């Protein structure tokens, strides 16, 4: 792989997937794997239970079968491996051409599932020109003239701003390559190991094996059906009843029960986080968290050890960041987070003028210390009992918390846009190899950012945070990049308290013993399905 010599294109996470209940004898494990492969049924259907349907079916962001539930119909130029390294996929290699152009060498001999050839022109129209129509040109900052075909299998891409993070960003499934003329909203056509069959909104999406797949591994099952179960409980019950073969994903409290019933449980490395975003720019009734000391009091009021060990039954980590700490290397220690200290929280609230009332809830004059939490991303169900736990913790220091849940992504975005809440509870995910992916997407207000406009008016602190994050887009040295991101996150969390992290999240998958070859991915939307088989 050719690239700018001093750029490290790896977000180095400590990503070793943990398989629960595996054999410790390597020879025995190899024998079992061989037997399982021999018994695999190539005509099998793999039934997968996934969370709520969040596909977009109109406009330039249309993504049926791609995001967040990736059915492997469409592929990207570069693959994000489970350890967050970059691997060639539809691009055999890529290189940086100063001052701001990336040249991609397209793999030869690949066809889309409809028979059309993959070439540079197809990449131009099916990727770069398509992404250019999104607000801000997506994370890669594509413009209408960004892509230039050099020859049949070579294409140059020049983002609209200086951006050395392009290869790390282009791995996101939203940056997949569609066949000329394909409709991402109704019938996606790509180069992947599966082809689109059917989509019933809020019910299911079905794909089938691509018999002409270009890759070394053809799909191990003939068909995959993904059924949507917004509630964790419904997904778990479907697995226990045998209605699905694999639950993608399950709640931490369900792990012990599934194992006791002989079902397999696999976990991914940490690639996600649970956090509250504070409305630091609120006005009127929603102006309470404009005071940084009140925000810090909220952060100090939460016993994260009790949250993890009790509420989440140990199925989480104590990380307090919105970037997987492993991706930051030694610089992760720059971010301190919040120590559980309810007495100091009370002191800060006293100093801010909020005094306890007769019922224990604080007030300032005739204004009650009443906060609204919006719980809804990616779904309200994914947060489980966390909102009520936070509610009880805040009550202990005199803060009244009202919990409001949203039914889907659209209603959650509307709540953000309308600034209805004081706190927004989210489970975010590191979706590409760019260490600065989330802070630049959601909180950075400069032109190089990802266009997270719904968040910026609420939570973006601007000022020092923007100043610290700005260099990451053109930083060639990976160690310096890690420190720059960590410094910006320290400002966002420890100084501005605009984001209040709760815990690190790893994905948990339950499955029948008949399912073989599934590899968890820290970025769950980049899971590859062709190697999965179902035994007869």
The pLDDT of residue 197 is 98
Can you tell me whether residue 521 is helix, strand or coil? coil
What are the b/e assignments for 353-380, b being 16+ CB within 10 Å? Answer: ebeeeeeebbbeeeebbebbbbbbbbbb
State the pLDDT at residue 251: 87
Residue 379 has pLDDT above 50, yes or no: yes
**Residue 522 pLDDT greater than 90, yes or no:** no
Name the pLDDT band for 26 (thresholds 50, 70, 90). very low
Within 10 Å of residue 222's Cβ, how many Cβ atoms?
A: 15
The number of angstroms, rounded, from the C-alpha of 505 to the middle of its chain's C-alpha atoms is: 11
What confidence category does residue 7 fall into, taking pLDDT thresholds of 50, 70 and 90? very low
What letter would DSSP give residue 245? S
DSSP type of residue 310: I
CA–CA dist 392, 430 (Å, integer): 29
CA distance to 96, 270, 279, 504, per residue, from 153 (Å): 17, 37, 48, 41
Q: What is the pLDDT of residue 452?
A: 55
What SS3 class is residue 46? strand
Average pLDDT over residues 270-295: 96
Please say if the pLDDT value at position 38 is more than 70.
no
What are φ and ψ of residue 352, in 5° steps?
Answer: -80, 0
Helix (H, G, I), strand (E, B) or coil at 101: strand
pLDDT reading at 367 higher than 90 = yes
Confidence of residue 9 (pLDDT cuts 50, 70, 90): very low
pLDDT at position 138: 92
User: Which pLDDT does position 27 carry in this prediction?
Assistant: 37
Q: What per-residue confidence (pLDDT) applies to 37?
A: 52
Is residue 137 over pLDDT 90?
Answer: yes
The tens digit of pLDDT for each residue in 250-277 reads 988 899 999 999 999 999 988 899 999 9
% of residues, the chain, pLDDT over 70: 92
Mean pLDDT for 340-352 is: 98
List beta partners, residue 8.
Answer: none
pLDDT confidence tier of residue 417, bands split at 50, 70 and 90: very high
Say yes or no to pLDDT of 1 above 70: no
Cα 57 to chain centroid, rounded: 20
pLDDT value, residue 25: 37
The answer to whether the peptide bond before residue 271 is cis (omega within 30 degrees of 0) is no
What mean pLDDT is reported for the chain?
91
Helix or strand (DSSP H, E) at 465? helix 463-469
Measured CA to CA, the distance from residue 106 to residue 114 in angstroms comes to: 19
- Tens of pLDDT, residues 422-455: 999 999 988 889 999 999 989 999 888 865 578 9
Mean pLDDT along residues 127-135: 96
Degrees (nearest 5) of the Cα angle 272, 378, 253?
65
Whole-angstrom Cα distance, residue 278 to residue 461?
10
Structure tokens at 262: 């002989």
- Looking at per-residue confidence, does 117 or 377 come out higher? 117
Say if residue 36's pLDDT is above 60: no
Q: How confident is the model at residue 465 (pLDDT cuts 50, 70, 90)?
A: very high
Task: Measure the CA–CA gap between 519 and 311, rounded to whole angstroms.
Answer: 27
* Confidence tier at 5 by pLDDT (50, 70, 90): very low
Give which of 531, 530, 527, 533 is closest to 248, Cα–Cα.
Answer: 527
Whether the Cβ atoms of residue 530 and residue 219 lie closer than 8 Å to each other = yes
Specify the higher pLDDT residue, 500 or 449: 500
At 239 the three-state DSSP class reads helix
Whether residue 132 is predicted with pLDDT greater than 60 in this model: the reply is: yes
In angstroms, the CA 503 to CA 535 distance is 37
Least confident window among 41-45, 267-271, 419-423: 267-271
Residue range 192-203: mean pLDDT, rounded: 98
Q: What letter would DSSP give residue 348?
A: H
The pLDDT score that the predictor gives to residue 237 is: 97
Q: Other C-beta atoms within 10 Å of 260: how many?
A: 8
Average pLDDT over residues 388-410: 95
> What mean pLDDT do residues 79-86 have?
87
> What domains lie within the chain, and their CATH numbers?
14-73+192-263+512-536 (3.40.190.10), 76-180 (3.90.76.10), 270-505 (3.10.105.10)
**Residue, of 8 and 448, whose pLDDT is higher:** 448
Tokens at residue 436, please?
């600065």
pTM for this one?
0.82
Determine the Cα–Cα distance for residues 507 and 378; give it in Å rounded to an integer. 14
Task: Report which of residues 536 and 274 the model is more confident about.
Answer: 274
């Amino acid at each position: 792989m050719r690239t700018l010599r001093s750029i490290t294109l790896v977000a180095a996470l400590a990503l070793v997937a943990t398989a629960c209940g595996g054999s410790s004898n390597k020879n025995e494990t190899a024998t079992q794997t061989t037997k399982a492969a021999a018994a695999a049924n190539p005509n099998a259907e793999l039934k997968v239970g996934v969370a709520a349907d969040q596909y977009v079916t109109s406009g330039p962001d249309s993504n049926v079968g791609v995001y967040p539930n990736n059915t492997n119909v469409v592929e990207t130029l570069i693959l994000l491996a489970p350890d967050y390294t970059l691997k060639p996929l539809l691009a055999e290699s890529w290189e940086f051409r100063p001052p701001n152009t990336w040249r991609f060498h397209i793999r030869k001999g690949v066809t889309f599932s409809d028979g059309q050839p993959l070439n540079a022109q197809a990449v131009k129209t099916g990727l770069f020109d398509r992404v250019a129509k999104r607000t801000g040109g997506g994370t890669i900052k594509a413009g209408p003239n960004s892509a230039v075909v050099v020859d049949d299998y070579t294409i140059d891409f020049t983002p609209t701003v200086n951006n050395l993070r392009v290869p790390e960003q282009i791995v996101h499934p939203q940056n997949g390559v569609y066949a000329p003329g394909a409709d991402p909203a109704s019938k996606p056509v790509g180069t992947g190991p599966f082809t689109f069959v059917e989509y019933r909104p809020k019910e299911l999406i079905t794909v089938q094996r691509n018999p002409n797949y270009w890759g070394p591994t053809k799909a191990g099952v003939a068909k995959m059906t993904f059924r949507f179960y917004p509630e964790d409980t419904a997904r778990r019950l479907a697995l226990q009843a045998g209605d699905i073969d694999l639950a993608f994903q399950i709640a931490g409290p369900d792990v012990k029960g599934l194992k006791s019933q002989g079902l397999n449980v696999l976990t991914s490395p940490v690639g996600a986080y649970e956090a509250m975003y504070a409305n630091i720019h609120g006005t009127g009734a929603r102006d309470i968290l404009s005071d940084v000391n009140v925000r810090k009091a909220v952060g100090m009021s939460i016993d994260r050890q009790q949250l993890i060990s009790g509420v989440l039954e140990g199925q989480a980590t104590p990380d307090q960041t919105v970037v997987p700490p492993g991706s930051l290397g030694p610089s992760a220690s720059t971010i301190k987070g919040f120590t559980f200290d309810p007495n100091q929280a009370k002191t800060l609230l006293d100093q801010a003028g909020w005094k306890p009332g007769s019922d224990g809830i604080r007030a300032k004059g005739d204004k009650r210390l009443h906060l609204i939490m919006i719980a809804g991303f990616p779904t309200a169900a994914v947060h489980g009992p966390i909102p009520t736990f936070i509610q009880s913790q805040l009550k202990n220091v005199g803060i009244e918390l009202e919990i409001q849940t949203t039914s889907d992504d659209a209603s959650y975005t509307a709540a953000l846009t309308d600034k209805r809440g004081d706190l927004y509870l989210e489970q975010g995910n590191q979706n590409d190899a760019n260490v600065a992916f989330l802070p630049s997407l959601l909180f950075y207000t400069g032109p190089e950012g990802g266009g997270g406009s719904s968040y910026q008016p609420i939570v973006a602190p601007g000022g020092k945070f923007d100043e610290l994050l700005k260099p990451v887009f053109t930083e060639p040295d990976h160690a310096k990049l890690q420190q720059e991101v960590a410094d910006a996150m320290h400002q966002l969390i420890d100084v501005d308290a605009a984001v209040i992290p709760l815990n690190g999240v790893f994905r948990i998958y339950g499955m029948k013993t008949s399912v073989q070859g599934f590899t968890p991915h820290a970025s769950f939307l980049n899971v590859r399905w062709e190697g999965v088989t179902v035994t007869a």
